[in-house]
Amino acid sequence: MRLGELTWPDNPALQDDSKTTKVRSVVVSEGRNRIIVRAMDHPSNPYPHFVSYLTSRNKHFPLSRELWLTSRGRVPTRSFFIRRLRRFFDVSIAGQSMRAGGATFLAEAGAPPPLIQASGRWASETFHIYIRKHPVLMQALLFGGDADQEPHYHH
């Protein structure tokens, strides 16, 4: 997900309601999921946290159309989000880091490049920049996430 889908620009003149993710776009399903979060059998499973947020959001702001809201029921601005991000990460982590992190995660899991590109809605091959910086990620792409396998070559 892009930061622009979670937040509004700081400049009110640039804030466009049509560019934020709407709560009606969410489909919660434990078996399959169409958008946002996939339930995983992993200690960092985001699914229960997302469902908890959604329950709280719907209880406190049932008439708001936007999915992501602050505790005051407002769409967070970019600076609001970045300030909170700084509580947990240093300045090397920025808004673009989330999208790049998604590409990195998929590469580490052995996802093929076309899937990485489609998942991040990368219009170009830019996502390769993040992967090329990390030799381990290149290995994951070549070996499909398993270093014991032979590389996947197409002749």
Q: What is the pTM of this model?
A: 0.62
pLDDT tens per residue across span 61-97:
999 999 999 999 999 999 998 888 888 888 877 777 7
Is 87 in a helix, a strand, or coil?
coil
Q: What pLDDT was estimated at residue 67?
A: 92
Arithmetic mean of pLDDT over the chain: 76
pLDDT tens per residue across span 2-34: 777 788 999 999 999 888 888 988 876 666 544
pLDDT at residue number 147: 44
CA angle 30, 28, 16 (to 5 degrees): 150
Give the DSSP per-residue string, 112-137: -HHHHHHHTT-SSSTHHHHHHT-HHH
